[in-house]
Amino acid sequence: MQAAPGAEPQPIIIIVDDDPGALNSLRFLLESEGYSVKAFLGGPELLADLPFNDPVCLIIDFKMPVMDGIDVFRRLRELNVGAPVILMTGHPDPKIATRAEAAGLALIEKPLSQDMLLSAVHAARARHIGISP
């Protein structure tokens, strides 16, 4: 979606998930909330598309082939991408939670509720623009 001339550009959210169905569902939800969405089926695809416009946040699935979500997050930080990251997992495990917390990631569990996801995105957006959520 393009913003009308003179209109405020839509905030960008990047989603990385190897499940095309989940990717499309998240895209639909976030676009219906007024966000512009870029979607990728894995970390390597995302990294190959750098640089990109300053996103409000990135939503990254934990369990993916080649690179897990925390590996993608660490690579983004090495490349100076500072936008907030929300890590999703369908496999709740204390080890994943510990790794996510140690990396400074927000962690949400699948199946995602719309309210939970949107709340996490709004909090990330607030952090990104420097206000309290």
User: Is residue 6 situated within a structural domain?
Assistant: no
Q: How does pLDDT run across 63-119, given as a tens digit for each residue?
A: 999 999 999 999 999 999 989 999 999 877 888 888 888 888 888 988 888 999 999
Q: What's the CA angle centered on 48, arms 43 and 51, to 5 degrees?
A: 110
Q: How does pLDDT run across 36-46, given as a tens digit for each residue?
A: 999 999 999 99
Domain residue limits at 87: 12-129
pLDDT value of residue 129: 64
CATH of the domain at 76: 3.40.50.2300
- Per the structure, how many domains does the chain have? 1
Residue 1 has pLDDT above 50, yes or no: no
Task: Supply the DSSP symbol for 102.
Answer: H
User: Is residue 2 situated within a structural domain?
Assistant: no
